[in-house]
Amino acid sequence: MATKEKSVFFCKSCGNESPKWFGKCPACGEWNTCVEEKEVRSKKQEDRRQKTEVVPMPIKEITNAEEQRITLPFEELNRVLGGGLVLGSLVLVGGEPGIGKSTLLLQTALQLSGKRVLYISGEESQNQIKMRADRVGIHNENCLILTETDTKEILKHFKDVQPDIVIIDSIQTLSSPYVDATAGTISQIRETAAEMNKIAKTYQVPVFLIGHITKDGSIAGPKILEHIVDTVLQFEGDRHYGFRILRTIKNRFGSASELGIFEMNANGLREVTNPSEFLLSQRDEEVSGIAIAATMEGQRPMLIETQALVSTAAYGTPQRSSTGFDTRRMNMLLAVLEKRAGFRLSMKDVFLNIAGGIRSDDPALDLSVVAAVLSSNADIPIDNRTAFAAEVGLSGEIRAVTRIEARIAEADKLGFEKIFISKYNAKGLDTQRFHIEVVPVATVYDLATELFG
C-alpha cells in the first residue's frame, strides 16, 4: 500500500492546521502553540473518505422528523442536553482528571433501564470498572464493558453488540489505524472523533465522548473537537468540595446556558434538584458583605450568594480580586459606586466571591454585587431574606433584566421577604400574586438609601 508521509503543524489552542511552522497562530493569534506531527495517511483512508451516498434534495421534500430523545436517569443530565439525549448525537463531556466524568457516565449507563449500553474504556481495566460499578450500584444488566482503543475494532464490536448508547472513555486514548500518529495527538483526536461521529450519524446511536481538559481549561485536542461534536458539556467544580457543576458549552439541540448540579459522595454522584437551597450558605448570625442574587442559569432561576470583603488597603495599591464574577465588571461597578454614589472605594481592597464555586455571567448579578460591597464597606449586614435582581449601568442607573417574574417567583418560593429590582422591570408587573415584597429602585444611590438609610 502506497503511503504519503508529510509533516503537519497544528495550533494546540484552536486546532488550526498549517503546512509550515508558525510562531503565532494565523487563525487564533496565540503565540507558541505550534506542534509538529507526522501524518501518514494511507491510500486506503483516502478511498474511504470519498464514499458518500447523500444526494442534494429539495428542501420541501425533506421530512422534518422531530429529533428523538432518550430520557436518561439523571434529570440534571437531561436538562443540560436540552431535554434528553438526541439519537445520533455526538456529545463531548470535558473535565479535569478526577472530577468524576467516568463516574457520571458509568452511573448513567448502569441506571438506565431497558437500553443496551456499550461502555468503551481505554483508561481503566474491566476490573477497575467493575469495582466502580459495585460502588455506585448496578441496575442495568444490559451494560457491556469493552476495553479497546482501536477504532476499527470498536466498530466491529459496535456492529455485534448493536447498543442503544455508546460511551467512549476517553477520546484521548482512541487511535485510528488510518492515521499513523500516537493516541492523543491532534491528528488522532480529529480522526477518531470524526469516525465516532460517523458511527453516531450512520446508525442513529448517541455517542458520549469523554475528553480531558488541559491545565488552562480548554479541552485537550482543542477547538476542532468542539466543531465536530453536537454538544459540549463541561464537568467542573472543586475537587475538595463534594459538588460538581455540569455546564452546557455548546448544544445543537438546545440552549447553551444550562447548568446541572451534582454532589459526589461515597457511592457515586447524586443530583441536586434544589440548587438554590444548596447554594445559599447556612448562617446563624448575620454577617456583612453578603447579598443574594436571583439569577437565571439557562431556563432555571437560581438564587446564589455574592460575598464581598472591603477593607482598607494595607499597601499603596489596593487589591481587587474576584472569583466566579468577571473582574473587569467588578471594577466597573466599583467605579460607578465611587463616581455616582460618592463611596470612597479607590483606596480599599475589594474581594468578591460567588459562593458554591458557581461562575455566572448573568447581568442581574450586578445589583447583588453592589449591595454586598456596600454592606461590607459599611459593615452592616443585609437581612438574609432579601434578594436582588438587576443590572447596573455606567451612570449608576438600575436596569431591567429578563425573566423578572421567574426570578421573583423563585425567591418567593424559597421564603424570601424582599426583592430589589429595577423600576423599569416593575412597570406592569403584577406584584399581588407574590407574598414577597417587590422594591423597585432607580439608581445605586437609591439602593444604598433603601438598604442602610
Shortest separation between residue 98's beta carbon and ligand TYD, angstroms: 5
Residue nearest to Mg ion (CB): 102
Q: Which stretch binds Mg ion (CB under 5 A): 83-91, 99-107, 171-179, 274-282?
A: 99-107
Q: Interface with ligand TYD includes 122 (CB under 6 A)?
A: no
Q: Interface with ligand TYD includes 97 (CB under 6 A)?
A: yes
In the sheet with 207-212, reading across from the earlier edge strand, the strands are 143-146, 117-121, 165-169, 207-212, 90-95, 231-236, 243-251, 259-265, 268-271
Closest CA to 235 of 243, 219, 246: 246
Kindly state the number of chain residues that form the binding site for Mg ion, as judged by CB under 5 A: 1
| Percent helix / strand / coil, the chain, rounded to 5 | 30, 30, 40
Residue from 15, 84, 94, 95 that binds ligand TYD (CB under 6 A)?
95
Q: Interface with ligand TYD includes 99 (CB under 6 A)?
A: yes
Instruction: Tell me the per-residue interface mask from 330 to 369 with Mg ion, x by CB under 5 A, - otherwise.
Output: ----------------------------------------
266 binds, among ligand TYD, Mg ion, none (CB under 5 to 8 A by kind): ligand TYD
Q: Which stretch binds ligand TYD (CB under 6 A): 17-25, 100-108, 342-350, 376-384?
A: 100-108
Instruction: Tell me the per-residue interface mask from 230 to 269 with ligand TYD, x by CB under 6 A, - otherwise.
Output: ----------------------------------x-xxx-
Nearer to Mg ion, 11 or 196 (CB): 196
- Amino acid present at 133: A
Residue-wise over 411-442: b if at least 16 C-beta within 10 A, else e? bbebebebbbbbbebbeeeeeeebebebbbbe
How many whole angstroms separate alpha carbon 221 and alpha carbon 185? 7
DSSP readout, 150-192? BHHHHHHHHHHH--SEEEEE-GGG-B-TTB-S-TTSHHHHHHH
Q: Which stretch binds Mg ion (CB under 5 A): 43-51, 94-102, 263-271, 343-351?
A: 94-102
How many whole angstroms separate alpha carbon 237 and alpha carbon 357? 6
Rg (CA), the chain: 26
β partners of residue 66: none
The residues, any chain, with a CB within 8 Å of residue 258's CB and separated by 6 or more, are 79, 80, 82, 247, 248, 251, 297, 298, 299, 300
Shortest separation between residue 120's beta carbon and Mg ion, angstroms: 12
84 binds, among ligand TYD, Mg ion, none (CB under 5 to 8 A by kind): none
Q: Determine the angle formed by the axes of helices 186-203 and 151-161, rounding to 10 degrees.
A: 20
DSSP readout, 65-95? PPPPEEPPS-HHHHHHTTSSEETT-EEEEEE
132 binds, among ligand TYD, Mg ion, none (CB under 5 to 8 A by kind): ligand TYD
Shortest separation between residue 269's beta carbon and ligand TYD, angstroms: 8
Nearer to Mg ion, 166 or 290 (CB): 166
Using CB under 6 A as the binding rule, the residues of this chain from 266 to 295 that contact ligand TYD are 266-268
Residue from 45, 70, 115, 132 that binds ligand TYD (CB under 6 A)?
132
Shortest separation between residue 385's beta carbon and ligand TYD, angstroms: 35
List the grid coordinates of 71.
430520557
Nearer to ligand TYD, 172 or 185 (CB): 172
Q: Which stretch binds ligand TYD (CB under 6 A): 93-101, 174-182, 284-292, 413-421?
A: 93-101
Kindly state the number of chain residues that form the binding site for ligand TYD, as judged by CB under 6 A: 15
Q: Interface with Mg ion includes 107 (CB under 5 A)?
A: no
135 binds, among ligand TYD, Mg ion, none (CB under 5 to 8 A by kind): ligand TYD
Q: Interface with ligand TYD includes 120 (CB under 6 A)?
A: no
Decide the pairing of beta strands 290-297 and 386-389: parallel
Q: Interface with Mg ion includes 102 (CB under 5 A)?
A: yes
Q: Which residue has the cell 457516565?
A: 105
HSE, CB side, 13 Å, CA atoms: give it for residue 125: 3
Shortest separation between residue 122's beta carbon and ligand TYD, angstroms: 12
Residue from 84, 94, 100, 363 that binds ligand TYD (CB under 6 A)?
100
Q: Which residues bind ligand TYD (CB under 6 A)?
A: 95, 97-103, 132, 135-136, 264, 266-268
